[in-house]
């Protein structure tokens, strides 16, 4: 039995990914799916990705396709990247 606030990922032969603890789908593209999970934002990268099952009541999703990467991006990394982009923009404006 799964604890509240937990998430389980099961990848079979890089072709079928089952994930529990899914609270929503933020991005759905053929090469990238971004999910909101109980463990944070989860990004799946690959080819010909397709959601074959999504049940938000039970917080389960199944994704089919060629899975190349499963990433939990760091919030700190995203904030730093955004700050660098803003600083770069300001420098360009002042140049």
Under the phi-then-psi rule, with left for phi > 0, alpha for psi from -120 to 50, and beta for the rest, what region is 41? beta
Q: What is the pLDDT of residue 76?
A: 54
CA–CA dist 36, 27 (Å, integer): 10
pLDDT tens figures, 47-90 = 999 999 999 999 999 999 999 999 998 765 455 555 555 666 56
**Mean pLDDT, the chain, integer:** 85
Report how far residue 80's alpha carbon sits from residue 61's, in angstroms, rounded to the nearest whole number: 31
Contact criterion met (CB below 8 Å) for 31 and 63: no
């Amino acid at each position: 039995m799964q604890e509240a606030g937990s998430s389980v990922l099961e990848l079979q032969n890089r072709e079928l990914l089952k994930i529990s603890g899914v609270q929503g789908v933020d991005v759905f593209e053929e090469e990238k799916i971004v999910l909101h999970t109980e463990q944070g934002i989860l990004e799946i990268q690959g080819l010909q990705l397709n959601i074959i099952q999504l049940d938000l009541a039970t917080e389960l999703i199944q994704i089919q396709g060629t899975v190349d990467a499963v990433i939990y991006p760091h919030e700190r990394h995203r904030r730093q990247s955004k700050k660098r982009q803003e600083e770069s923009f300001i420098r360009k404006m002042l140049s």
